[in-house]
């Protein structure tokens, strides 16, 4: 990985970018300083050269000026000296009038030419004519010039022949003066005759004072032309006037362009240097900052380089430590890398699979993996579940996540989720199925039902719901134990499942309650046929530990869309129909009908009415006398409750007792019955007992003992005169509890009779083990009496009762024949419409008083 870094970052140097940048910058500044120095030197050099050139120029022009001055003076003096008139009036005879007054050689020479001195020296070197500063004067020339001019005069006379004037620079009182002298000759004037005397000499003196020198300099472009003074210092350059410079030296202050250049250029260079310095400073700061940033990023890069190595090691550790395997694949969907874990997890060889097509190993639910990976805009954080076959040939499930690589292809991880998926599937199954039977449970039913109802069943293709409840299942559980009960439920479940078609649903929704959903049944006949089949199969004996068990079923039917189109409604209607089926005698089926619902509503109303009735004394007690069959004597009476409804009249107990039992009103109802029955019977003759019916639910709930005790106490009746009738259902619900309760009741002194004997399950064992005093043969035995078989059954029951020392009572004696039969089999006691209908209190009291015990004697 470090090889991926740019080489500069891998260089071993420890110098920071800041140091590097500073060093480079200092070098650059040094270079710049050199350049500036060079520029300065060049400037000075150029300036010097310039100045020197100017100096040379100035010297040249000064010379030219002096020469020009000399030349001009020479020519002027020549004009005046080599002139016949001058010869006549200044040599031959000095005529001041001609010379001065007539302005021939007078004031004008001063005013026009600036000659401060004009002299004429005669042949004996005497000054004969003087004009000083334009004024006639009488001064000797040598006196005025403060020096001898013999040399000049001689030279002037020498030039007479050739008419050549002479000029000389002299110093007059520290001021240079140019003296021009020329011998006065007749010139070209033929009228003037030369004498033989030595020539007179005309002398012009031009005093070069500073003003005049400045003017000359200006005319010749030489600045500050002046006489050298000690202030000028040692003269480097100058122009000596006269031979060996006796007249002094001319000096000038030339305009110094080099100096100017320096004056202008050096500050500029300095300024530029300053500017560059400032800029350098700024650049230094900026580059230092940038370099610092670079250093920071460099050091962070170095540290990230280290981090990279750490993270690579970490990645390797994680890859090998994790249960996932890591894969990479090229653009041709072939594995290019598989981590070591691949072999551990799949058992397959890495070598064999690297280079192999990915699709050959893994497939998704929806297609090949390459198809999935090719989905455009596939979200990279979404994983896909794949299946593959491991080295043992088992199918395994793996969750694959993939990320596209920049170089093409993909890489990612694969997590084995076989167990997880299995567990989830199991949980899902368990959450939707009943653990005991494996049938779908209520949750699954709801789901299935919702799905089917969404598909909109039609009248032609209805959705049929059967609500099925096992009859006589409870006793199996109680008598044979829960394990047997479970076996029965399993048996029933598989029988039910066998009856329906594929696509239908059988669900267990309660202890012995099932719901079947059928989708392929179209006619009512078909449904009825199915119900018949269901009941028949369920009624087949179930073998449990060498014992045959019989159960049956009631079925309620509701259909969509006819009855309802909503799952909860449909379930409710099927339950109502089931209720009706059970009420209709069990072992049968009922289709839901609109009025069933009305009946349910009716029941609700009855229930609330009953609550009111119990409180407000609408209950009545009727008594049905019970006779001893042998002598026809009344031995007691059974108390039978009625409800005197203000609108409906007298309602029989069959209508409201079930409602009272279901709603829990039975306790207060029964309280009233026991209490009233005991009070009434307490007023009867002592030999008459009263028999009171108890509901099985009273055994389960409520403090029966206390209630009975209280009734006995309140009425003051002898407990032996009270009989309690219970059905065998009491024992079926909770046999040990019932036994305990019955023993306690017996200790109170009351008698206990088994009611409705022969209708229930297995009365015999109960009779033996429970403390009964009597049994009442159900009226169905007498009512359905057809042949001698039934007679013998009654006879057997009577015999059984006798064997167990129980008083046997026959119910439902409706005819004389019934009575004859019972007498023939020596049944102990009997009651029935033939003997007496249930009577209200008044009628019963009348009967007791009037007829005494003679009633049935005639009939027996
Ligand atoms: P049950 O205990 O079997 O009561 C006897 C029923 O048979 C009474 O009906 C009675 O009128 C009727 N019966 C009597 N002789 C004949 C006959 O010769 N032929 C026919 N076909 N029927 C006869 P009832 O009074 O309608 O009572 C029905 C059931 O209501 C009773 O059956 C009993 O189980 C229950 N019951 C009545 N009163 C009470 C009560 O106070 N408490 C409780 N828990 N249940 C009661
Ligand atoms: Ca009874
Ligand atoms: Ca009965």
String of DSSP letters for 472-484: S-HHHHHHH-HHH
The Cα–Cα gap between 723 and 807 comes to 12
By mean pLDDT, which of 208-212, 293-297, 506-510, 511-515 is the weakest?
293-297
Across 191-200, 352-361, 590-599, 685-694, the highest mean pLDDT is recorded for 685-694
- Right CATH number for 322-432 from 3.30.70.3420, 3.40.50.261, 3.40.190.10, 3.30.450.20? 3.30.450.20
Please write the tens of the pLDDT for every residue from 363-381: 888 888 888 888 887 777 7
Structure token digits, residue 646:
């203000």
Ligand 2 centroid from CA 638, angstroms: 7
Q: What does the pLDDT read at residue 108? A: 86
Residue 497 scores a pLDDT above 90: yes
The Cα–Cα gap between 802 and 828 comes to 9
Alpha-helical regions (H) of 692-815: 696-700, 704-715, 729-733, 735-748, 763-769, 779-783, 788-803
CA angle 669, 733, 434 (to 5 degrees): 120
Which are the contacts of 685, defined by CB distance < 8 A and separation ≥ 6?
A: 848
Across 157-161, 187-191, 403-407, 528-532, the highest mean pLDDT is recorded for 528-532
Residue 199 scores a pLDDT above 60: yes
The Cα–Cα gap between 212 and 698 comes to 163
Half-sphere exposure of residue 273: CA atoms within 13 angstroms, side-chain side: 18
Ligand 2 centroid from CA 582, angstroms: 21
Given ligand 1 and candidates 811, 834, 835, 856, which is best to mutate, with the most ligand atoms within 8 Å of its CB? 811
Q: How high does pLDDT run on average in the chain?
A: 86
By mean pLDDT, which of 16-25, 502-511, 585-594, 730-739 is the weakest?
16-25
Q: Region of 237 please: left (phi>0), alpha (psi -120 to 50) or beta.
A: beta
What is the percentage of the chain residues whose pLDDT exceeds 70? 95
* Range 245-270 average pLDDT: 79
What fold characterizes domain 84-208?
A: Beta-Lactamase (3.30.450)
Structure token digits, residue 373:
């990976």
Q: What does the pLDDT read at residue 754? A: 93
Number of other residues whose CB lies within 10 A of the CB of residue 517: 23
Q: What does the pLDDT read at residue 545? A: 83
Confidence of residue 725 (pLDDT cuts 50, 70, 90): very high
Residue 120 scores a pLDDT above 50: yes
Q: Is 653 in the pocket of ligand 1 (CB under 6 A)?
A: yes
Ligand 3 centroid from CA 250, angstroms: 175
Q: What does the pLDDT read at residue 763? A: 57
Q: What does the pLDDT read at residue 744? A: 94
Q: Using the atom order of ligand 1, give the atom closest to the CA of residue 695.
A: 44
Q: Tell the residue nearest (CA) to atom 12 of ligand 1.
A: 812
Is it true that 84-208 and 322-432 share their CATH fold?
A: yes
Q: Is 657 in the pocket of ligand 1 (CB under 6 A)?
A: yes
Please write the tens of the pLDDT for every residue from 769-818: 899 999 999 998 888 777 667 788 889 899 989 999 999 999 999 999 99
What is the percentage of the chain residues whose pLDDT exceeds 90? 37
**CATH number for the domain whose boundaries are 436-592:** 3.30.70.270
Q: Does the 604-859 domain belong in CATH 3.20.20.450?
A: yes
The Cα–Cα gap between 281 and 294 comes to 19
Q: What does the pLDDT read at residue 679? A: 96
DSSP element (H, E) containing 827? none
The Cα–Cα gap between 17 and 6 comes to 16
Q: Is 640 in the pocket of ligand 1 (CB under 6 A)?
A: yes
* Range 269-287 average pLDDT: 81
Measured from the alpha carbon of residue 758, the closest ligand is 3
pTM of this prediction exceeds 0.85 = no
The Cα–Cα gap between 366 and 385 comes to 10
Residue 12 scores a pLDDT above 80: no
- When comparing pLDDT for 596 and 483, which is higher? 483
Measured from the alpha carbon of residue 654, the closest ligand is 1
Q: What does the pLDDT read at residue 762? A: 52
Ligand 3 centroid from CA 727, angstroms: 8
On whether the CB atoms of residues 509 and 439 are closer than 8 A, the answer is no
Alpha-helical regions (H) of 716-760: 729-733, 735-748
By mean pLDDT, which of 182-196, 609-623, 675-689 is the weakest?
182-196
Q: What does the pLDDT read at residue 15? A: 61
* Range 625-647 average pLDDT: 95
Measured from the alpha carbon of residue 695, the closest ligand is 1
Q: Using the atom order of ligand 1, give the atom closest to the CA of residue 640.
A: 38
CA 675 to chain centre: 74
Q: Tell the residue nearest (CA) to atom 37 of ligand 1.
A: 640
| 3 state DSSP class of 679 | helix
The Cα–Cα gap between 209 and 224 comes to 13
Ligand 1 centroid from CA 640, angstroms: 6
Ligand 2 centroid from CA 725, angstroms: 6
Given ligand 1 and candidates 624, 653, 728, which is best to mutate, with the most ligand atoms within 8 Å of its CB? 653
On whether the CB atoms of residues 176 and 208 are closer than 8 A, the answer is yes
Please write the tens of the pLDDT for every residue from 444-495: 999 999 999 998 889 888 999 999 999 888 888 877 888 999 999 999 999 9
Residue 261: closest CA among 571, 48, 551, 536: 48
Q: Tell the residue nearest (CA) to atom 10 of ligand 1.
A: 838
Q: Is 780 in the pocket of ligand 1 (CB under 6 A)?
A: no
Q: Using the atom order of ligand 1, give the atom closest to the CA of residue 725.
A: 2
Ligand 1 centroid from CA 778, angstroms: 10
By mean pLDDT, which of 253-267, 509-523, 774-788 is the weakest?
253-267
Residue 242 scores a pLDDT above 80: no
Confidence of residue 82 (pLDDT cuts 50, 70, 90): confident
Q: What does the pLDDT read at residue 525? A: 92
The Cα–Cα gap between 97 and 713 comes to 202
Q: What does the pLDDT read at residue 7? A: 42
On whether the CB atoms of residues 755 and 777 are closer than 8 A, the answer is no
Residue 138 to residues 56, 108, 118, 201, Cα–Cα distance (Å)? 44, 18, 11, 16
CA 54 to chain centre: 87
By mean pLDDT, which of 166-180, 251-265, 528-542, 650-664 is the weakest?
251-265
Q: Is 814 in the pocket of ligand 1 (CB under 6 A)?
A: yes
Half-sphere exposure of residue 690: CA atoms within 13 angstroms, side-chain side: 30
Q: What does the pLDDT read at residue 233? A: 61
Ligand 2 centroid from CA 544, angstroms: 34
- When comparing pLDDT for 248 and 563, which is higher? 563
Ligand 3 centroid from CA 756, angstroms: 4
Measured from the alpha carbon of residue 626, the closest ligand is 1
Confidence of residue 8 (pLDDT cuts 50, 70, 90): very low
The Cα–Cα gap between 306 and 243 comes to 96
Q: Give the residue extent of every domain in the chain.
A: 84-208, 322-432, 436-592, 604-859
Ligand 1 centroid from CA 654, angstroms: 8
Q: What does the pLDDT read at residue 234? A: 60
Q: Tell the residue nearest (CA) to atom 15 of ligand 1.
A: 832
Q: What does the pLDDT read at residue 16? A: 67
Please write the tens of the pLDDT for every residue from 289-310: 877 777 777 677 777 788 888 8
The Cα–Cα gap between 645 and 643 comes to 6
């Amino acid at each position: 990985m470090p090889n991926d870094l740019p080489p500069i970052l891998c260089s071993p140097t420890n110098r920071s970018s800041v140091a590097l940048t500073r060093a480079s910058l200092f070098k650059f500044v040094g270079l710049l300083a050199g350049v500036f120095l060079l520029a300065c030197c060049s400037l000075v050099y150029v300036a010097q050269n310039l100045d020197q050139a100017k100096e040379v120029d100035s010297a040249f022009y000064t010379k030219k000026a002096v020469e020009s001055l000399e030349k001009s003076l020479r020519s002027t003096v020549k004009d005046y000296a080599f002139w016949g008139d001058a010869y006549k009036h200044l040599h031959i005879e000095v005529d001041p009038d001609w010379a001065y007054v007539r302005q021939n050689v007078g004031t004008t020479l001063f005013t026009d030419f600036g000659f401060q001195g004009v002299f004429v020296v005669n042949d004996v070197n005497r000054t004969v004519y003087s004009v000083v500063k334009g004024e006639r004067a009488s001064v000797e020339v040598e006196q005025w010039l403060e020096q001898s001019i013999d040399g000049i005069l001689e030279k002037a006379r020498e030039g007479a022949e050739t008419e050549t004037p002479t000029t000389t620079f002299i110093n007059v009182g520290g001021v240079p003066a140019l003296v021009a002298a020329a011998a006065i000759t007749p010139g070209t004037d033929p009228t003037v005759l030369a004498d033989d005397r030595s020539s007179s000499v005309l002398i012009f003196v031009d005093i070069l004072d500073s003003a005049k020198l400045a003017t000359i300099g200006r005319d010749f472009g030489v600045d500050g032309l002046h006489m050298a003074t000690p202030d000028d210092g040692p003269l480097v350059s100058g122009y000596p006037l006269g031979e060996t410079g006796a007249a002094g030296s001319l000096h000038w202050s030339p305009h110094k362009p080099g100096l100017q250049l320096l004056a202008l250029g050096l500050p500029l260079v300095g300024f530029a240097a300053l500017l560059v310095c400032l800029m350098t400073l700024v650049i230094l700061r900026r580059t230092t900052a940038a370099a610092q940033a670079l250093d920071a990023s460099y050091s962070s890069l170095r540290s990230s380089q280290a981090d990279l190595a750490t993270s690579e090691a970490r990645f390797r550790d994680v890859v090998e430590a994790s249960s996932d395997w890591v894969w990479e694949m090229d653009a041709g969907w072939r594995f290019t890398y598989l981590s070591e874990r691949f072999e551990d997890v799949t058992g397959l060889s890495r070598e064999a699979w690297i280079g192999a097509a990915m699709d050959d190993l893994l497939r998704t639910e929806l297609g090949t993996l390459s198809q999935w990976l090719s989905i455009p805009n596939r979200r990279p954080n979404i994983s896909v579940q794949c299946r593959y076959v491991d080295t043992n040939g088992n199918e395994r499930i793996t969750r694959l996540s993939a990320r596209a690589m920049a170089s093409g292809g993909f890489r990612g991880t694969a997590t084995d989720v076989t167990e997880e998926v299995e567990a989830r599937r199991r949980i899902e199954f368990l959450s939707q199925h009943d653990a005991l039977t494996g049938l779908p449970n209520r949750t699954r039913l709801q789901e299935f039902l919702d799905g089917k109802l969404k598909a909109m069943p039609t009248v032609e293709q209805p959705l049929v719901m059967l609500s099925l409840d096992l009859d006589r299942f409870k006793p199996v559980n109680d008598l044979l134990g829960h394990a047997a009960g479970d076996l029965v439920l399993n048996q029933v479940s598989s029988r039910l499942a066998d009856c329906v078609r594929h696509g239908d649903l059988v669900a267990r929704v309660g202890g012995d309650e099932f719901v079947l959903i059928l989708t392929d049944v179209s006619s009512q006949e078909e449904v009825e046929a199915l119900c018949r089949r269901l009941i028949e199969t369920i009624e087949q004996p179930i073998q449990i530990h060498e014992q045959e068990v019989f159960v049956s079923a009631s079925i309620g039917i509701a259909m969509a869309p006819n009855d309802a189109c909503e799952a909860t409604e449909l379930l409710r209607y099927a339950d109502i129909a089931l209720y009706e089926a059970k009420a209709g005698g069990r072992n049968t089926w009922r289709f839901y009908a609109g009025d069933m619902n009305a009946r349910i509503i009716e029941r609700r109303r009855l229930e609330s009415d009953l609550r009111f009735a119990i409180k407000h004394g609408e209950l009545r007690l009727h008594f049905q006398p019970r006779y001893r069959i042998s002598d026809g004597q009344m031995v007691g009476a059974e108390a039978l409750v009625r409800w005197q409804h203000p609108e409906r009249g007298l309602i029989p107990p069959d209508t409201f007792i079930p409602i009272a039992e279901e709603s829990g009103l039975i306790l207060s109802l029964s309280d009233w019955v026991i209490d009233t029955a005991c009070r009434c019977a307490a007023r009867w003759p002592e030999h008459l007992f009263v028999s009171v019916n108890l509901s099985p639910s009273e055994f389960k709930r409520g403090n029966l003992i206390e209630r009975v005790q209280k009734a006995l106490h309140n009425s003051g009746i002898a407990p032996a005169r009270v009989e309690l009738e219970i059905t065998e259902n009491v024992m079926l619900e909770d046999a040990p509890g019932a036994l305990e309760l019955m023993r306690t009741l017996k200790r109170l002194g009351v008698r206990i009779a088994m009611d409705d004997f022969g209708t229930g399950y297995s009365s015999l064992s109960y009779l033996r083990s429970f403390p009964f005093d009597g049994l009442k043969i159900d009226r169905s035995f007498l009512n359905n009496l057809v042949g001698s078989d039934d007679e013998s059954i009654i006879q057997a029951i009577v015999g059984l009762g006798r064997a167990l020392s129980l008083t046997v009572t026959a119910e439902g004696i409706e005819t004389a024949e019934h009575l004859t039969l019972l007498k023939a089999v020596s049944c102990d006691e009997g009651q029935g419409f033939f003997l007496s209908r249930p009577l209200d209190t008044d009628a019963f009291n009348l009967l007791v008083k009037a007829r005494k015990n003679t009633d049935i004697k005639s009939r027996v």
